[in-house]
Amino acid sequence: MVDIALDHVQACRDTGLSIEGPVAQFTQKIDATTPAELAGVYDCILLGVKAQHTEEAVGQLMAHLGPQGVVVSLQNGLNEQHIARLVGQSRTVVGFVNFAADYLGPGRIGLGNRGALKLGEMRPGLTPRLESLAALLRGFDPDTQAVEDIFRFKWGKLAYGSLLFATALANETMTESLSDPALRPLFVALAREVLGVAALAGVSPVGFDGFDPAAFAPGAAAHVAAQSLDRMADHYRHSTKQRSGVWRDLAVRKRKTEIDSQIADIVRVAQSYGAQAPVTEILIQQIHEVESGLRPIARANLLEFDQRVRALGLPA
């Protein structure tokens, strides 16, 4: 394992990496290193850095990737395009992750619950290497799947993830916010917009872990969207991770989120097709204001967000 945090690396080497939470509890000493100390050439690199650190991390690791090796992006967002530009499309594998985990401290990771884990190629289709990588990751989650069109899941996660970014504007748990009847119109408008951008890009997202894209389609009955939001809320109800990693970045670690390297891609894709994504733009603006200290984290942010979305006069 490779990490830039020396104290984390040393803890993993000296006392072991501790996995905590309801899914598994164990400590295992591992061969951890920093990028500067890394030696050797490898056939597979599993990349799990925050989206904004993708290009820097791949740049550090390229010298250690074998000529037929692959970089597997186990990240949120659409980072695979950046990875492919650096290592080549044929050496890039796309990952989709939805399990809940947090860095708790040097050598300590909280694994809050299980969630969907899928792999796909940059182009639709199944390959032997994809099946092999999925088999490898079943050591982590036995339900890991290789899928023919991974970007249907990636865009589904962008829509799902936009809702989790929104919940980070408040201190309530993800479950509390997603199941709040007063906030349902806001979440519906946000998800519907992202799914609409996906459609412009020729992608038909699929659902997972309670998220049903059809529930947020134009004209869908309000109670259907409410049921999907309730299922999403229930997914986190029994998890030890009650708030998103975005909230943790803002409230605990006091650092920038992945908003510009993940959610802002929705706006960029929309603009590339001559469209706009005004609901997503409000979300990005409010997250920026929290990052810069201009806006406290509070439920009032979501109520204001809802009012601004209503003022847009979007079709129901």
Share of the chain above pLDDT 70, in %: 100
Q: What is the pLDDT of residue 300?
A: 98
Return the sign of the alpha-carbon dihedral for residues 280, 281, 284, 290: negative
pLDDT tens for each residue of 119-167: 999 999 999 999 999 999 999 999 999 999 999 999 999 999 999 999 9
Residue 133 maps to a domain: yes
Please indicate, yes or no, whether residues 156 and 124 belong to a single structural domain of this protein: no
pLDDT at 177 over 80: yes
Can you read off the two tokens belonging to residue 40?
A: 């050797």
Please indicate, yes or no, whether residues 201 and 131 belong to a single structural domain of this protein: no
Domain's final residue, options 93, 126, 148 = 148
Counted domains in the chain: 2
Residue 172: partners with Cβ closer than 8 Å, 6 or more residues away = 180, 299
Residue 316 maps to a domain: no
Q: What is the pLDDT of residue 220?
A: 93
Please indicate, yes or no, whether residues 166 and 94 belong to a single structural domain of this protein: no
Please indicate, yes or no, whether residues 132 and 28 belong to a single structural domain of this protein: yes
pLDDT at 181 over 90: yes
Integer Cα distance of 106 and 21 in angstroms: 16
CATH number at residue 74: 3.40.50.720
| Alpha-carbon separation of residue 35 from 4, 42, 53, 58 (angstroms) | 7, 14, 13, 10
Please indicate, yes or no, whether residues 44 and 182 belong to a single structural domain of this protein: no
Can you read off the two tokens belonging to residue 4?
A: 């830039």
* Cα-based angle 157, 160, 166 (whole degrees, multiple of 5): 130
Please indicate, yes or no, whether residues 182 and 300 belong to a single structural domain of this protein: yes
Q: What is the pLDDT of residue 238?
A: 81
Q: What is the pLDDT of residue 194?
A: 98
Share of the chain above pLDDT 90, in %: 94
Q: What is the pLDDT of residue 235?
A: 86
Please indicate, yes or no, whether residues 88 and 164 belong to a single structural domain of this protein: no
Q: What is the pLDDT of residue 241?
A: 84
Can you read off the two tokens belonging to residue 31?
A: 């061969």
Range of the domain at 197: 152-311
pLDDT tens for each residue of 29-71: 999 999 999 999 999 999 999 999 999 999 999 999 999 999 9
Please indicate, yes or no, whether residues 236 and 279 belong to a single structural domain of this protein: yes
Q: Strand 42-47 relative to strand 100-105: parallel, antiparallel, unpaired?
A: unpaired
pLDDT at 217 over 80: yes
Please indicate, yes or no, whether residues 17 and 42 belong to a single structural domain of this protein: yes
Please indicate, yes or no, whether residues 178 and 249 belong to a single structural domain of this protein: yes
Domain's final residue, options 99, 115, 148 = 148
* Cα-based angle 298, 263, 78 (whole degrees, multiple of 5): 150
